[in-house]
Amino acid sequence: MLLEGRLARREGVQHGWLSVEGERVGAVGTGPPPRTPDERHDGIIAPGLIDLQVNGAAGREVTGGPEALDVIDATQLAHGVTSYLPTIVTTTPEVQARAAGELADRVRDPRSPVEGIHLEGPFLSPAHAGMHATELLRAPAQGIPPAYASGALRLVTLAPELAGAIELTGELRRRGVAVALGHSGADAETVGAAIERGAALVTHLFNAMAPLHHRRPGLVGTALGDERVTMTVIADGVHVHPLVLAMIRRAAVGRTILVSDSSPAAAAPAGRYRMAGIEIEGAPGGPVLTASGALAGSSLTLDAAVRNWMALTGASLSEALCAAGERAAAAVGLSAGLYPGAWADIVLFDEAGDVVRVMRRGRFTDSN
């Protein structure tokens, strides 16, 4: 199959073409295609989006079993997400282990966009728990739950100030698991120690962490100032004020990753849902809250985050797509991009950044 259109790549957007051979990208070129294309797209041809933090969508949560995962998979693909990390928030070790087993099956299924597991908990600071159940939080020194042994584990979020967290960071990195720092009140020295052990990500910058102080930079200041760190951001205009989103872009334009942190309220009608046993309430485009008023994930989808990042910060479409695709992939050891040999995970966008068609592994998802 030969596609022609404006290709979105790290270096910008340029008219060109690419061939799809089986499940992978074949040749890629700029200018006129070598023959009549099978599809000429008037908008943007981009790599598939990659979401590192999906708690749920369409009324389901990622711990809800195979039927729920079928719905979440389909929802992600419909919004241009060709790879994602289901994120298990703090829950009991039994639920976490059962869900990790089900998700490992998805990783092995070539039809599913699940690429690994993200464990966000239980190794989080009780003082910065957000919607996580504080009674289930613990330190690594108190024991590691069985789910952490899963071969499908790809990303862990932890608070580095907890007893045993620095040591666990080093062990996870030796296994090839990416480590993000989050839900934390750590000082800059502790954050630096975790970075030295291999932590290279920060989960949803500014949210569920000690605020930036000019004499106590902590996790926020270290993330913005340390070139070794890439940070994820929830660009819904609710979790982080648009002025601060623009500040993040100016300070770390090449080190920002867009995530949805989507809850079951994402891509779902306004209403009440449950996540990790907690009742939440949300509406499309609005905040998702617990009964106590705490933010509980978002109603965001990643394609909307791309559009928001452009609208709220002045980022170009190619820059926003990189933050929601190739940069996210690199952070957790995946590959993505429009280059020969890459997986043919491709999204056709219109000029406004809306999804037109989605291809995963060389096949359009709307094809019979």
- With respect to residue 257, please indicate whether it lies within any of the assigned structural domains: yes
- With respect to residue 104, please indicate whether it lies within any of the assigned structural domains: yes
Whether 284 and 222 map to the same domain: the answer is: yes
- With respect to residue 19, please indicate whether it lies within any of the assigned structural domains: yes
Whether 108 and 27 map to the same domain: the answer is: no
Whether 207 and 256 map to the same domain: the answer is: yes
Check residue 268 and give its pLDDT. 96
- Tens-binned pLDDT, residue by residue, of the chain (368 aa): 999 999 998 878 999 999 999 999 999 999 999 999 999 999 999 999 999 999 999 999 999 999 999 999 999 999 999 999 999 999 999 999 999 999 999 999 999 999 999 999 999 999 999 999 999 999 999 999 999 999 999 999 999 999 999 999 999 999 999 999 999 999 999 999 999 999 999 999 999 999 999 999 999 999 999 999 999 999 999 999 999 999 999 999 899 999 999 999 999 999 999 999 999 999 998 999 999 999 999 999 999 999 999 999 999 999 999 999 999 999 999 989 999 999 999 999 998 889 999 999 999 998 75
Whether 72 and 85 map to the same domain: the answer is: yes
Whether 28 and 102 map to the same domain: the answer is: no
- With respect to residue 340, please indicate whether it lies within any of the assigned structural domains: no
Q: Is 303 a catalytic residue?
A: no
Of 187, 261, 303, 345, the active-site residue reads 261
Check residue 352 and give its pLDDT. 86
To which H or E segment does residue 274 belong?
A: strand 271-275
User: Domain of 257: which CATH number?
Assistant: 3.20.20.140
User: What does each C-alpha distance from 198 to 141, 153, 225 come to in angstroms?
Assistant: 19, 16, 17
- With respect to residue 355, please indicate whether it lies within any of the assigned structural domains: yes
- Could you report the per-residue pLDDT of 215-271, keeping only the tens digit for each? 999 999 999 999 999 999 999 999 999 999 999 999 998 999 999 999 999 999 999
Whether 161 and 28 map to the same domain: the answer is: no
Whether 284 and 356 map to the same domain: the answer is: no
27 and 16 Cβ atoms separated by less than 8 Å:
no
| Structure tokens given for 1 | 């199959």
- With respect to residue 141, please indicate whether it lies within any of the assigned structural domains: yes
Distance CA 171, CA 180 (A): 14
| Structure tokens given for 195 | 């970075």
- Domain that includes residue 178, residue range: 49-333
Residue 356 DSSP label: E
Check residue 366 and give its pLDDT. 87
Q: Is the dihedral of CA 359, 363, 367, 368 positive or negative?
A: negative
Whether 127 and 39 map to the same domain: the answer is: no
To which H or E segment does residue 180 belong?
A: strand 178-181
Check residue 351 and give its pLDDT. 86
Whether 96 and 202 map to the same domain: the answer is: yes
- Could you report the per-residue pLDDT of 122-165, keeping only the tens digit for each? 999 999 999 999 999 999 999 999 999 999 999 999 999 999 99
Q: CB under 8 Å, gap of 24 or more: what pairs does 8-15 form?
A: 8/44, 8/45, 8/46, 8/47, 8/317, 8/318, 8/321, 8/338, 8/349, 9/318, 9/337, 9/338, 10/318, 10/322, 10/326, 10/337, 12/316, 12/318, 13/44, 13/316, 13/317, 13/318
- With respect to residue 341, please indicate whether it lies within any of the assigned structural domains: no
User: What does each C-alpha distance from 233 to 118, 237, 305, 361 come to in angstroms?
Assistant: 16, 10, 9, 27
Whether 160 and 111 map to the same domain: the answer is: yes
Strand 24-30 with 56-57, pairing: unpaired
- With respect to residue 338, please indicate whether it lies within any of the assigned structural domains: no
Whether 204 and 231 map to the same domain: the answer is: yes
Q: Per the structure, how many domains does the chain have?
A: 2
Whether 317 and 360 map to the same domain: the answer is: no
Check residue 154 and give its pLDDT. 98
Residue whose C-alpha is closest to residue 232's, from 84, 94, 342: 84
